[in-house]
A = this chain, B = another copy of it.
């Protein structure tokens, strides 16, 4: 019998010979196999579970005997009886190698767990969070070799976890001595390892082995909507997601009106900073409640937002962003204490990371979209449109990436829309209008049933039908255009012109009654002429921004379009094309990515290396300034019609024929019907 044994790990395939008696965890560490451990091999944390394989493995050229590992021991038995463990599993720190063996590391035992995104455009996030839990054994004090408890803890982290030069703030120092004594000289540490040169920092400590969870928030701070995901920092799972309206809306619906507010009102920025921080605190509290966790267990937040929101959150006067040359106070990533932003709902030691901005009008949200969608790795020329009150637009492929932002206004988020509302249960998110009867049907957030389903009323009893959100208004206007209720100029026809009593006069214009809940005490939900105008302005700005990038790139067509947006349900590619929001592309090549900026934030939350990646990437993104580019105005004006020029949309013509109607504002005469 040999003195050592061959150990083969799957799925990595790493292999090596080890002396008999080597713990499996030790072998894994020496081979660089990704096997988790919080307690450092002391049989406490059970993170290092492995599945030994027995029998013949022709592929690996070994046969594993039944006694290839030491016998099931008392530590494993105690863990299994108290917490349960899948049959056949062993603890890697307890089982020792006694013969050639094949060891499988199940996904949940890998440190760099990979989390599958739920959205259509699946992408895995490798777990490598900035903040993690480490269990350490600290040497007891020795009067004859006097060193501080903190210095002995730092030494333990260096020796047991290869983390040198840790720092801790006063609050940790204050709690350290009782914690070490209570834990009998063992401690669990929440350690934050920032990127760049920042020293690793102890955020929290627990006596002994702490088996609880630590959490992080990925926040997409939009001008109109604030969306956030609550993630378990151990495995990246999203425990809850939620959103609130940005309370700054009362100071101005779009960014430039907020900048103007600051310029006109002394202290206006201070007030706006205060309310947005309050909103973040409230959102953190509600999302933690929804996820069933203590908000004090949130140790990190990653924030993405546009530059004006970026400055207002940080408490920096955004006035320079309102005028050329649109200078940012800081363009790099920002790492700071959550308490510096008065985010008192989070743990008091929580850290905040804000992605870098690309330019004065192209913010950390655009950087997050770039991180999530990675246009720079695409072979095809891809256009990525992140729809919001300020749209972030990226165009490029592996050769070159361009970016701009476009001030679309808040219409796409349901603001400035008569029946508009934030994407929340009860909001209409999908709309269809029968081209013959002109009758609508719709779905609301919170139910999968269409409104013409017999069970719809009961299914929506709790939420009601409360208004119309961003994706709903896009579909409604596009469906009205397809159904001939709206002409290419954007005018809604009168009842005589359209042949439906749902088109009702409102002053000198008409509105379309999408839903009338007044009989049941609910709202009457209309699409008004004003709503159509707001959507026209918004989509013209969006289109003009995309065209400007195409001009800069020197192309007339893109290979692929990705639609993204924070506001709830995904945008329908077909309806976006009907509106003329985006340049023409084959319908199959237009996809919806959900909240790409929020996903980018989540990636940065779960993977510290991704922060370095996007910080390097932003320097290679060429930014185009829409605000001073005359061609932007040109494209904007030319894009007013719905869609703005049928000739430009060959792909659209292949899937839908738009009625050639034309209404004047009086509504007195019949719309002409021409088919081209």
What is the 8 Å Cβ interface bit string for chain A, positions 376-419, against chain B (1 contact, 0 not)? Answer: 00000000000000000000000000000000000000000000
Q: How large is the interface on A (under 10, 10 to 19, 20 to 34, 35 or more residues)?
A: 35 or more
| A149 partner residues in chain B, CB cutoff 8 A | 320, 327-330
Per the bound structure, the CA–CA distance linking A522 and B324 in Å amounts to: 74
CB within 8 Å of B: which A99-147 residues: 140-143, 146-147
**Is A331's CB under 8 angstroms from B174's CB?**
no
A211–chain B nearest beta-carbon distance, Å: 26
Residues in B neighbouring A325, C-beta threshold 8 A: 140-143, 146
Closest residue on chain B to residue A340 by CB atoms: B170
Cross-chain contact B358 with A150 (CB below 8 angstroms): no
A598 partner residues in chain B, CB cutoff 8 A: none
Q: Is A326 interfacial (CB-CB < 8 Å)?
A: yes
Q: Cα distance A54–B329 when bound, in Å?
A: 51
- Inter-chain contact A336/B170, CB cutoff 8 Å: yes
Once the chains are docked, how many angstroms separate the CA of A149 from the CA of B327? 7
CA gap between A326 and B145 in the complex, in Å? 11
Binds B, one of A309-317, A467-475, A657-665: A309-317
How distant is the Cα of A174 from the Cα of B273 in the complex, in angstroms? 12
Indicate whether A268 reaches chain B with its CB closer than 8 angstroms. Answer: no
Q: At the interface, yes or no: A169 with Cβ under 8 Å from chain B?
A: yes
Q: Mark out the residues of chain A between 300 and 318 whose CB falls within 8 Å of any chain B CB in the assembled complex.
A: 314-317
**Chain A window 506-549, contacts with chain B (Cβ cutoff 8 Å), 1 for yes, 0 for no:** 00000000000000000000000000000000000000000000
- The reply to whether B148 and A340 contact each other, CB–CB distance below 8 Å, is no
Cα A327 to Cα B330 in complex, Å, equals: 44
Which residues of B are found within 8 Å of A169, using beta-carbon distances?
Answer: 336, 340
Q: Given the complex of chains A and B, what is the CA–CA distance between A146 and B359 in angstroms?
A: 5
Within 8 Å CB of A320, what residues of B? 149, 177
Interface residues of A in 146-172 (CB under 8 A from B): 146-151, 165, 169-170
Residues in chain B near residue A147, CB distance under 8 A: 328, 331
Q: Is the CB of B151 within 8 A of A326?
A: no
Q: How far is the CA of A329 from the CA of B171 in the complex (A)?
A: 12
Give the contacting residue for A173; candidates B146, B176, B330; CB below 8 A: B330
Closest chain B residue, CB of each to CB of A174: B316
Scan residues 355-383 of chain A and give those whose CB is less than 8 A from a CB of chain B: 357-360, 362
- Shortest distance between the CB of A621 and any CB in chain B (Å): 10
A628 within 8 A of B: yes
Q: Given A141-B327, A170-B315, A197-B197, does the pair A358, B146 have CB atoms closer than 8 Å?
A: yes
* Distance in angstroms between the alpha carbons of A316 and B150 in the assembled complex: 12
Kindly name the residue among A315, A319, A331 whose own CB sees the greatest number of chain B CB atoms within 10 A.
A331
Q: For the complex formed, measure the closest distance between the CB of A148 and the CB atoms of chain B, giving whole angstroms.
A: 3
Contact at A174–B317, with CB atoms within 8 Å? Answer: yes
Chain B residues with Cβ below 8 Å from A204 are none
Q: Is the beta-carbon distance between A331 and B151 smaller than 8 angstroms?
A: yes
**Contact assessment for A174 and B330 in the assembled complex, using a CB-CB cutoff below 8 Å:** no
Query: Which of B142, B178, B319, B326 is within 8 Å of A146, CB to CB?
Result: B326
CB-CB < 8 A to A360: which residues of B?
Answer: 143, 146
Interchain CB contact under 8 A, B340 and A146: no
User: Chain B nearest CB: distance from A194 CB in Å?
Assistant: 11
Q: How far is the CB of A209 from chain B (nearest CB, A)?
A: 22
- Which of B148, B196, B315 contacts A327, CB < 8 Å? B148
Cβ contact of A623, chosen from B146, B199, B628, cutoff 8 A: B146
Q: A148 to B329, Cβ gap below 8 A? A: yes
How far, in whole Å, are A331 and B154 apart by their CA atoms in the complex? Answer: 12
Q: Is A332 an interface residue (CB 8 A)?
A: yes
B151 touches A314 (CB 8 A): no
Interface check A625, CB cutoff 8 A: yes
**Max chain B C-beta neighbours (<10 A), residue from A146, A149, A196, A328:** A146
In angstroms, Cα B60 to Cα A11, docked, is 75
* Contact A146–B328 (Cβ < 8 Å): yes
A197 to B198, CA, bound (A): 9
> Is A177 touching B332 in the complex (CB atoms < 8 A)?
no
- Kindly state the separation between the CA atoms of A314 and B176 in the bound complex, as whole angstroms: 13
Give the residue name and chain of the B residue nearest to A627 (CB). B143
Instruction: Produce 1/0 per residue, A72-88, CB < 8 A to B.
Output: 00000000000000000
A143 proximity list for chain B (CB < 8 A):
324-326, 359-360, 625, 628
What's the Cα separation between A174 and B341 when bound, in Å?
A: 13
Q: How far is the CA of A329 from the CA of B154 in the complex (A)?
A: 12
Known contacts A197-B165, A340-B170; is A151 also within 8 Å of B330 by CB? Answer: yes
Distance, CA A628 to CA B146, complexed state (A): 14
Q: Which of A140, A143, A150, A362 has the most CB of B within 10 A?
A: A143
Contact, CB under 8 Å: B358 / A317: no
Q: How far is the CB of A38 from chain B (nearest CB, A)?
A: 25
Return the chain B residue nearest A165 by Cβ. B197
Q: How far is the CB of A438 from chain B (nearest CB, A)?
A: 49
Q: Interface digits, A174-203 against B, CB 8 Å rule (1 contact, 0 not)?
A: 101110000000000000000011110000
Contact (Cβ within 8 A) B314 A148: no
Q: A401 to chain B: closest CB distance in Å?
A: 15
A402 to chain B: closest CB distance in Å? 13
Q: Which residues of B contact A315 (CB under 8 A)?
A: 170, 174
Expressed in whole angstroms, the minimum distance between the Cβ of A321 and any Cβ of chain B is: 10
A148 neighbours in B (Cβ, 8 Å): 327-332, 357
A selection of 10 A-B contacts at a CB cut-off of 8 Å is A146-B328, A146-B358, A148-B328, A148-B331, A149-B329, A170-B314, A170-B336, A170-B340, A173-B314, A177-B327
Apart from the given pairs A143-B324, A173-B316, 10 other A-B contacts in the complex at a CB distance below 8 Å: A142-B325, A143-B628, A146-B358, A147-B331, A148-B332, A149-B329, A149-B330, A150-B331, A173-B314, A177-B320
Residues on A facing B (Cβ under 8 Å):
140-143, 146-151, 165, 169-170, 173-174, 176-178, 196-199, 314-317, 319-320, 324-332, 336, 340, 357-360, 362, 623, 625, 628
User: 3 smallest A-B Cβ distances: which pairs?
Assistant: A148-B331, A146-B359, A141-B327
